[in-house]
Amino acid sequence: MAQAAAKHGENHAHGHDHGHHDPQEMKILGFWFFLISDVILFSVLFATFIVLRDNTAGGPILSELIKMPGVIAETFILLTSSFTSGLAVLAMNQGKVKQLISWLAVTAVLGASFIALEVYEFIELIHEGFSFTTSAASGAFFTLVGTHGLHVSLGLIWMIGLMLQLKKRGITDVTRGKINVISLYWHFLDVVWIFLLSIVYLLGVM
Amino acid sequence: MLEGLKEFASEFFVTGDPLIYGAMVAIGITMITIVAVLTYFKKWGWLWRNWLTTVDHKKIGIMYIIASIIMLFRGGVDALMMRLQLAMPNNEFLNPEHYNQVFTTHGTIMILFMAMPFMFGLFNVIVPLQIGARDVAFPFLNALSFWLFFLGAMLFNLSFVIGGSPDAGWLSYPPLSELSHSPGVGQNFYIWGIQISGIGSLATGINFLVTIIKMRAPGMRWMKMPMFTWSVFSTCIIILFAFPILTVTLALLFLDRFAGAHFFTLDLGGNPMMYINLIWMWGHPEVYIVVLPAFGVFSEIVSTFSRKKLFGYKSMVFAMLIISFLSFFTWAHHFFTMGSGADVNAFFAVTTMLIAIPTGVKIFNWLFTMYRGRIRMATPMMWTLAFIPCFIVGGMTGVLLSVAPADFQFHNSYFLIAHFHQVLIGGVVFGYFAGLYYWWPKMFGFQLEEKLGKWAFWTWNIGFYVCFMPQYAVGLMGMTRRLSTYGWDTGWWELNFVSTIGAFLMGVGFLFQVAQIADGIRKYKSLKASADPWDGRTLEWSIPSPAPEYNFAITPRGDDIDEWWEEKERRAKGIYPPEQPLEPIHMPKNSGIPFIMSVFWFIAGFGFVFGWLWMAILGLAGVGICMIARSFSYDTDYYIPVDEIKRTEASLRGSV
Ligand code: HEM
Ligand SMILES: [Cu+2]
């Protein structure tokens, strides 16, 4: 089969054939649907947490163990990282690759510090006798917060991959699409965190 | 050393049952034969290039359907074994433990590994053709979905010979499915088999939503979309909202079993009822996921074989959207008897009954479409006609079940078994059969001969009523489901015996279908199908059978619901569309990553099943590497040049 070599991907040849659909636009729409499914996923975890949070089976109670300063620091770091990911997109729209990569790097460092703080918080809780297997309530807490943390961690790996691609290929239609998608993802994780903060932590200590 | 090995093998492989030894030998022989045949005919390269790495939606659809029919066979053998066991009182063919495994695998396989892939197969083959598209929105993801489904299904089936099958029912209620009551690996196979294929299903849902929203032919506005495409759209919305619930539910169950959590356990604050709510929040919509596309198929067929426009197109669309919405508000009707209280039960009883209204609208529309139509009795139409009475009876018994107080009598009896098989077989299976017969020529380029098809039709249908009508009666007489044996004094045996005969008749029907297909393949040259063998109405019939890899040489327009029918009328009047120049066609390249990545998922799943963390981590690392490899590959598409299109079109159309 004669496969005509396509000078594709790099500079997408628009208007090449009729009825051709903009792939970047479709990717973003697909990603929105993925986010909807992720919202459902988190909703189920939230529901589980709410149902089970008082089932401590006589073990330690989360609200008595929460250390708010750490949580506030996490919140602050994550919100800032969302802001810097926004700056990255701005830099991209101005065509500045170097700036774009730097802002992504800042975002990634902030994300990593968030994860580090979270891990520290988990270790503290486990020391206090509130571990994953202690009770239904503890399992629900670690699963819900941990799932968010896992999302952030995967986002970090992905972001590093994208920085490498940007270095190699610069800003093209394809890389632009990828950056748009990851910044959407990053903002989404921020929103989920706000819910975590209010439902798990603030309602917990009040 | 040898002792250790022996001990390991006796835990690893399932032993002690002649049926299982038989299966092991059969699996071994089949594998060796496949490998030998592929090697002898030097077909490995062909298999890899044409099938394992393909991203062509039509081929993926065909693979889905083949896998699904194999699973129908496996689930069917399970069904026959159960019916054999129940044919006579005090039977000792299957012991209770084995019986539990058989009904669990039967239910799981039929719904998740037979109905779902059959449906996805039809989506894949038809939707892009109906909307005038060259492909689905994300061809790579589409291939990945297929392989995830396939390897998930294989993982599930492996439990039969390795480790042991799950036996806590197709929805695995805790505490039965918890470590405390199912310490073996069977439940782990259940969790990971479904989990892996479930990710694929969710991805397919997203893929087809974007495809339908973004890739319709110019002129095809929402209310001009063919009915099957509408049914796929509403199904995918349900998938998008329902499947994440399943993913989380199974993940939580796994955390309980594997990591010692207490979500659904009986101790340390766990709440089994939480699981039952969650699983039915997925499970009930799931039933509509599998039945809505069948409704879409019937709509296409009724209109084609009555040579009339579908009656009440708009009301059909709204009925479907209303069903997909309501399906999320009925889940508690599966446990009216479990103490939710009268208010909750009343709410769910009412929402359940409401679904009968849009469903009734659809049935009347099909009947009105046929009214005064010029009806042709080809096999697709026969399956459609058989569906209608079957579904009406099944729907009415469903309304009976939805009366909460009455359900205290029907709950978990054979009355329920008869009801849901009536809607699942009469609605879903008949619907997909109808679709398979209808689109067969478009998929394979030849027609199946009708004679054997009619034999299959009649044995299936007669068998169906002989099998399930007695079950309503025996259910009212007090026979409960998941019962492996009963005594002479119950007075149930005559009805059960008749029911078993019916089940075997359906088995004969299946054999007729296999024979029909085999016969068709043998004679396929003489059975060559034209582009439009049924005098169809929608765009898929405007291109050659089988469709070329790029589907449409020239992007069609979709200004009318029955665009191709209108086009034929215009042509009959001598009005031809203006000539359009061919242009190079943009296509996605094949890729081995979906297959390889799914194999890694399989490895990870297998590791989790046996609690071998090293293997699970190895598998997950492989998955990660595949994802990164994909993210870094930029050279993923190519263009088919104009002369190649010309050549293909000429050879397919005979120089038209
Ligand atoms: C082809 C003819 C079929 C026969 C003769 C048959 C027979 C049976 C029997 C005997 C049971 C077990 C009843 C019990 O002891 O509890 C059963 C359960 C079930 N069947 Fe079928 N079946 C057939 C097809 C199907 C199909 C096509 C589907 C779905 C698409 C299906 C879905 C189920 C489910 C979900 C269960 C419940 C399993 C459980 O209790 O966990 N069956 N069937
Ligand atoms: Cu239901």
Provide the pLDDT for residue A17.
41
Can you read off the two tokens belonging to residue A132? 């994953």
pTM of this prediction?
0.94
- Answer yes or no: are the C-beta atoms of B567 and B219 closer than 8 Å: no
Work out the minimum CA distance from B337 to partner chain A, whole angstroms. Answer: 21
Cβ–Cβ below 8 Å for B262 and A30? no
SS3 at position B557: coil
Question: What is the mean predicted confidence (pLDDT) over B69-82?
Answer: 96
Of B202, B248, B271, the CB nearest to A51: B271
Q: Is B429 in the pocket of ligand 1 (CB under 6 A)?
A: yes
**Is the per-residue pLDDT at B49 higher than 70?**
yes
Among all bound ligands, the one having the nearest atom to the CA of B349 is 2
Question: What is the mean predicted confidence (pLDDT) over B430-434?
Answer: 98
pLDDT in tens, B615-654: 999 999 999 999 999 999 988 899 999 999 999 888 887 6
Q: Is B467 in the pocket of ligand 1 (CB under 6 A)?
A: yes
Instruction: Give the position, in ligand 1's atom list, of the atom nearest the Cα of B424.
Output: 30
Provide the pLDDT for residue B25.
84
Provide the pLDDT for residue A46.
97
Q: Following DSSP, what letter does each residue of B21-54 receive, concatenated?
A: HHHHHHHHHHHHHHHHHHHHTT-HHHHIIIIIT-
**Is the per-residue pLDDT at A12 higher than 70?**
no
Chain-centre distance for alpha carbon A6: 34
Residue nearest to atom 17 of ligand 1 (CA): B103
DSSP letter, residue B425: I
In this structure, of A11-25, A134-148, B37-51, B361-375, the range with the lowest mean pLDDT score is A11-25
Cβ–Cβ below 8 Å for A135 and B262? yes
Residues of B in contact with A130 (CB under 8 A): none
Provide the pLDDT for residue B654.
63
Cβ–Cβ below 8 Å for B255 and A44? no
Q: Where are the beta strands (DSSP E) in B375-527?
A: none
Q: ipTM of the predicted structure? A: 0.94
**Is the per-residue pLDDT at B128 higher than 70?**
yes
Residues of A in contact with B585 (CB under 8 A): 17
- Ligand 1 center to B151 CA (angstroms): 23
Beta bridge partners of B162: B13
> For residues B171, B174, B177 and B179, what is the CA-based torsion angle, rounded to 10 degrees?
160
Name the residue in chain B with its Cα closest to that of A137.
Answer: B269
Question: What is the mean predicted confidence (pLDDT) over A188-194?
Answer: 97
CA–CA separation, B134 and B129 (whole Å): 8
Question: What is the mean predicted confidence (pLDDT) over A22-44?
Answer: 95
CA–CA separation, B205 and B274 (whole Å): 26
Q: How far apart are the first and last CA of chain B?
A: 72
Residue with tokens 């009406």: B392
Mean pLDDT (chain A) is: 90
- Answer yes or no: are the C-beta atoms of B149 and B239 closer than 8 Å: no
- Answer yes or no: are the C-beta atoms of B553 and B531 closer than 8 Å: no
Work out the minimum CA distance from A5 to partner chain B, whole angstroms. Answer: 6
Residues of B in contact with A37 (CB under 8 A): 202, 206, 240-241, 243-244
Question: What is the mean predicted confidence (pLDDT) over B495-507?
Answer: 98
Beta bridge partners of B586: B639
Query: Which of B80, B104, B110, B416 has most ligand 1 atoms within 8 Å of its beta carbon, as the pocket-test mutant?
Result: B110
SS3 at position B587: strand
- Answer yes or no: are the C-beta atoms of B265 and A142 closer than 8 Å: no
Burial label, B16 (beta-carbon count in 10 A; 0-12, 13-18, 19+):
exposed
Q: Is B76 in the pocket of ligand 1 (CB under 6 A)?
A: yes
- Answer yes or no: are the C-beta atoms of B555 and B218 closer than 8 Å: yes
pLDDT in tens, B238-291: 999 999 999 999 999 999 999 999 999 999 999 999 999 999 999 999 999 999
Per-residue b or e along B499-520, where b marks 16 or more CB atoms closer than 10 Å to that residue's CB: bbebbbbbbebbebbeebbeeb
Confidence of residue A81 (pLDDT cuts 50, 70, 90): very high
Confidence of residue A23 (pLDDT cuts 50, 70, 90): confident
Provide the pLDDT for residue B580.
87
Residue of A1, A8, A167 to mutate, interface with B, max B Cβ within 10 Å: A8
**Is the per-residue pLDDT at A6 higher than 70?**
no
Instruction: Give the position, in ligand 1's atom list, of the atom nearest the Cα of B114.
Output: 30
CA–CA separation, B623 and B298 (whole Å): 40
Number of neighbouring beta carbons within 10 Å of residue A3: 13
Q: What's the 3-state SS for B252-321?
A: HHHHHHHHCCCCCCCCCCCCHHHHHHHHHHHHHHHHHHHHHHHHHHHHHHHHHHHCCCCCCHHHHHHHHH
Name the residue in chain B with its Cα closest to that of A56.
Answer: B269
Work out the minimum CA distance from A90 to partner chain B, whole angstroms. Answer: 23
Cβ–Cβ below 8 Å for B213 and A139? no
Cβ–Cβ below 8 Å for B641 and A132? no
Cβ–Cβ below 8 Å for A26 and B214? yes
